[in-house]
Chain A
Amino acid sequence: MNKKFLAIGITAAVAVTMAGVMAGCAPDGASVTQITAAFTRPSTSGTYGAFNELVENSEGVTLDDLVNADDPADRVDFNACVQTSNETGTVITDVYNTPNALGYISLGAVAANSDKIKAVKVNGVEATVANIEAGTYALSRPFNFVYKTETGLGDLAQNFIDFIESADGQELVNHDYIGVADPVKDYTPYAGSEKTLTLTGSTSVQPLLNEYIIPAFLELNPGITIECSGTGSGQGETDTAGGLNDLGMISRDLGSDYAATLTAYTIALDGIAVIVNKDVRLSNVTFDQLFDLYMEGTPIACDVA
């Protein structure tokens, strides 16, 4: 008898395993005809705030106007086709796995994940560094460092910013982001006594620093330790106010709660890319389409093959 049971068990096991592994295979993006769902971020994310404030319908009403309307009677929540993905990486995975959905992430994160997703044009303009610089691409937001107004910037923090604003630093920034240094500064490596620079805050700013700025900065300043921890824009502000870091990172404008105590310093501009699965035949979305999808669930038709 035992053998029979074992046989049944193993067969079932293999069957379900196969199904499971096969379900994990690449989704079919090419056959999708319309976008019917969308992903957003938690309401406390900097990218979320910027996206909601920028996307508006033809009457000039932004997503933020409806979702966060002061008067509860005017407030409209996102359509049920919108789901929350907790991190940039989760948006990428979700959009890749869900070919009928779109999402939005930092433009800086698009190139590194082009095997899964692609950015689509917004209002007919391609999401590129050049277009953001020219001001034609509509979805962009600042990357800010924040520090206590009262105490000002530390020496090492100032030196770090100087490096970002040097010719070398700007070249690095301009790979995926838009440098804003005007004029470009001369840079001399840090000669002071501080040893550690601590930055906390936005996870969107973190890749810019981790991928480009910090490695190059450390090459010029080998004795320095840099800690750059990402948890969220809001934490960047509160940590700075609480004296827990040297620089806070936020991926939006400074919140009004902190306008009196903190100073924001813009180090770069970042685009917000609207992304879909890389095989989906969608090349352009308009603000109206985005607005209607997020608020009404109105599908966006893909390009005709």
Chain B
Amino acid sequence: MMRSATMAPGGPEPARRPKEGINKTRLKDGAAKYLFFVCASLSVLAVFGIIGYILYASIPAFQEVGFFKFLFGTQWNHATDEYGVLPMIVSTLVVTLGSILIGGTIGVFTAIFLVFWCPDKFHLKYAGKNKGWAKVVDRINKINLRTFFDQVIKLLAGIPSVIFGYFGVAVIVNMLRGADPYLIGKGALASALVLSIMILPTVTSLSKNALEAVPEHYYEGALALGNTKAQAVFNVVFPAARSGIISALILGIGRSVGETMAVAMVSGGRVYFPDSLFRPIRTLTTNIALEFADAGRTGTLFSALFATGFVLLVLVLIINLSINLVPKEFKGKRGNKVLKGEQVKAVYRKQGIIPEILKYVAIVFAAFVVAVLAALILFILINGVPHLKWDFIFGPSSYQHPSLLPAFISTGYTILITLAIALPLGICSAIFLVEYAKPGSKVVKVLRTFIDTLAGVPSIVFGLFGTLLFVPMTGHYSVLAGALTMVLVVLPTIIRSTEEALLAVPVSLREASYGLGASKVRTIFKVVLPSAFPGIATASVLAIGRIVGESAALIYTSGMLLTTVNAAANPLNMGSTLTVFLYMCWAEPTRYLGYDQAYATAVVLLIITTLLNFIVYLIQRRVKKKN
């Protein structure tokens, strides 16, 4: 996660140049520094502003209900003004724990399979004589299975959570129904299972990175000492990657805690302690989603929802801090344990049947992941493709024949406005933090923790914030208000990813540039930024993905409505993005707009997500080739 401070390349100052040139260069340098500083300050202001505001807005609830009564109360009733969140805190923790036990385990084992046992290619043979088929088989054999599998899992990360929710309702809840005493199937278990699927990509990708970062000679050395492959993997490589895997699991926990819409659809929504698998429950985020609609802008309920958001914020903060607590000794240069003397011998001596069993566990879990993925994608395609009509996607939109065109326009505006603000702000802030701030500064460290916290705050909390700030500011629910809210959602991620990208640029490049007489600003713009470009581009594409997939924060800022192409053309009007449109089809099915249209929209979203992932893949492949 956080790079060690010694890597921060803020250190060396450019060499002084002859006097005549100084003034202009200095002016530029000074102006640029000032600009970066202002951006960083704005970001800091946003970060602390939001955190401070959430606390400020929760105070009335804490005062009226009582702080401890709020935290430990077990009743939540709007009509009688009783607000206690203990059952929701417990439900959130239990469901998260369940998802980490199930999804986390499966994800880690899948990562192990991907790195060590996944065959490179399909080894299909074709004995027939049909040249066409032979060609097809040849093509299939050329696919790099490992990359393919990896990409498909990443695709899972980009699918809007509303779709997971519906998959949960239609498939997972249906599977569980028989075991539920009330034959419904929703509740704690269903929520944990849906979350398990949703955290798979996070856990798998990051665990895979951690495993791949373990030096090759660990593995080879273990084999050379007479271990079987399974023993080498589970006794040597896996422990060496431990800290990276723990970090991956903690990030998975973050994702679990913050999920809103999908859980709202499968949890049953009652305020109960999760004392049985099928008990209907309500998590903290779903509490906000369920109560928000009618909470209004004033009153205790509204404040109580902010207080719920505050509890979430504290949870996320704890999760983020616990990442930093992952023992430093495991963090070698690439986050790995370095084994010493006796330790190595002890580890190598461990042998036995268990690794061999674990090998099969990894294979079975990976197969299971493939199955779930296939089921999810098939579910969307089977239900959606038959209703995918040209008129519905690009036709002129009217109330009797709604099309996706206005939603496309609104999505486009939301992306444009959000990125137009968040990208410059985020990139400049990151430049200030990396290039100008004192390396190793405590202030910067604290700042990073808060930015990370903000990145983990569930988007529904930003929705609350946006309704209160941006909607009145623009005087109206509008695509603009939604986009401004999304700026807050994506800004922390953009800052952190840009920082990572800047830090990855070797200090030697900067020094070489200074050595050639370039000023600091010139070095940043001509040397550092171009080298960091792929990282920043990836961050932008991921931000687009986040915007496309968002529902909770946008429903309450830019509206959930049917609109016309003309109305959507003005971002000051209300508008629904594709994901909100999809949710509307499911939420209020009518004669002209119902489940069929929802699935068709889901297919469109799946295609968009695939495209975005493909772009990220291309960027990363280019970087790899360059290296």
Contact = CB atoms under 8 A, between A and B. Distances in A.
A203 B79 contact: no
B405 to A, nearest CB: 16
B588 A98 contact: no
B185 A84 contact: no
Given A42-B269, A68-B80, A84-B269, A9 B367 contact: yes
What range describes how many residues of A lie at the interface?
35 or more
Contact of A228 (B471, B476, B561, B589): B561
Given A6-B119, A16-B375, A84-B270, A227 B296 contact: no
Nearest to A12: B367
Interface residues of B, number: 89
A15 B363 CA distance: 15
A72, A89, A112, most chain B CB atoms within 10 A: A89
A43 B123 contact: no
Interface in A20-69: 20-21, 23-24, 27, 36-37, 42-46, 64, 67-69
B75, B186, B398, most chain A CB atoms within 10 A: B186
Interface stretch (B3-11, B167-175, B496-504): B167-175
B169, B299, B590, most chain A CB atoms within 10 A: B590
Given A23-B174, A227-B567, A97 B79 contact: no
A67 B400 CA distance: 40
Interface stretch (A122-130, A141-149, A162-170, A230-238): A230-238
Nearest to A71: B80
Given A44-B294, A227-B573, A238-B296, A24 B170 contact: yes
A68 B79 contact: yes
A75 B80 contact: yes
Given A43-B77, A225-B564, A237-B296, A13 B379 contact: no
B371 A24 contact: no
B174, B269, B587, most chain A CB atoms within 10 A: B269
B472 A242 contact: yes
A215 B295 contact: no
Interface in A98-122: 98, 100-101, 109, 111-113
A224 B291 CA distance: 33
Given A10-B367, A238-B298, A244-B477, A92 B375 contact: no
B588 A227 contact: no
A13 B594 contact: no
B183 interface: yes
A45 to B, nearest CB: 7
B398 A97 contact: no
A134 interface: no
Interface stretch (B235-243, B506-514, B526-534, B552-560): B552-560
A98 B562 contact: no
A88 B80 CA distance: 25
Nearest to B82: A72
B382 A228 contact: no
B574 interface: yes
A5 B573 contact: no
Contact of A13 (B175, B371, B590): B371
A185 to B, nearest CB: 23
Contacts of A111: 591
A270 interface: no
Interface in B581-606: 584-595
19 contacts: A8-B364, A9-B367, A12-B364, A16-B368, A19-B175, A20-B171, A20-B372, A23-B171, A42-B291, A42-B293, A67-B79, A75-B77, A84-B290, A86-B289, A93-B595, A100-B183, A112-B590, A206-B561, A230-B588
Given A14-B371, A109-B588, 13 more contacts: A13-B370, A17-B375, A23-B171, A82-B270, A83-B184, A84-B282, A89-B585, A112-B591, A211-B592, A214-B399, A232-B292, A234-B293, A234-B294
Q: Ordered nearest first, which 5 A-B pairs have the shortest CB separation?
A: A234-B294, A84-B269, A232-B293, A44-B294, A238-B296
